[in-house]
Amino acid sequence: MLQLNNIEVIYDNVILVLRGVSIEAPVGAITTVLGANGAGKTTMLKAISGLLRPERGDVTRGSIEYNGEQIDRLFPHEIVSRGIVQVFEGRRVFEHLTAEENLVAGGHILPSMAKVRQNIDLVYEYFPRLSERRDVQAGYLSGGEQQMLAVGRALMSDPGFVLLDEPSLGLAPMITKEIFGRIQRLRDEQNVSFLLVEQNAKLALEIADNGYVIENGAIVLEGAADELRDNADIKEFYLGMAGEDRKSFRDVKHYRRRKRWLA
């Protein structure tokens, strides 16, 4: 299990971004974290993957544990070696390398080229479009193909946990559904666990097993994915499905929303 235990993250010793965040992401499951821009979702992922220090951030309270081992003081390459890999928002592929060269780069910690080849074949099995485009420079791939490549590159290191940061960003709905479907298959068939950070609450809750809502650096709601889908607040604030008693969004934006989250 991947656990965040009441963590606090501060940037520049001044800016408090995460305020006592606690999350449990079970092995073999898709756990989603929903929230608006600036809620602290990406900071949470960077705290897990060890990428806060280059940005002058630090976990100042609490702990992050993976399979019982505290990892929040490890370097990023040590966290990858433990089996946790992050797929960044905006894809960030190596544009001047081919699709297959990107995959080879993702397998740099593997013990042999035979294992690299085996994992490349696995990626092509789940993302056959990449096999067709293996010799094309990544910068010339479509946005959907680049996102497939980013996920595939993460899979190259045999991760136990993949941290996905806004995988639907900038993609057409059909492409997003295709990628999310592959994520479900990887969970079911390869036992890969995912921590999925998303603004698209509808799609995220369709594939997730459990979820959390983060606002202003704090968890305000958590539960099984089906429970969150049926939650009146989620419907109103994230799915755009207002109840009959709502007069206007302005009426609930400040008072009712705050009252409900803090109840």
Nearest one of 230, 232, 201 to 214, comparing CA atoms: 201
pLDDT, position 242: 57
pTM score, whole prediction:
0.87
Tell me the C-alpha distance between 213 and 216, whole Å: 10
239 close to 59: Cβ distance less than 8 angstroms: no
What the chain holds in terms of domains, given with CATH numbers, is: 2-225 (3.40.50.300), 231-263 (no CATH)
Min mean pLDDT across 39-48, 113-122, 165-174, 181-190 is at 165-174
pLDDT tens track for 188-206: 999 999 999 988 888 899 9
Tell me the C-alpha distance between 103 and 116, whole Å: 9
Burial class (CB in 10 A: 0-12, 13-18, 19+), 174: exposed
Tell me the C-alpha distance between 46 and 28, whole Å: 21
pLDDT tens track for 211-227: 999 988 999 889 999 99
Strands across the sheet containing 57-66: 15-25, 2-11, 57-66, 69-70
Query: Mean pLDDT, to the nearest integer, of 157-164?
Result: 94
Task: Please report where in the chains the tokens 């505290």 appear, as a residue.
Answer: 70
H/E segment holding residue 203: helix 201-207
pLDDT tens track for 107-120: 998 889 999 999 99
Burial class (CB in 10 A: 0-12, 13-18, 19+), 239: middle
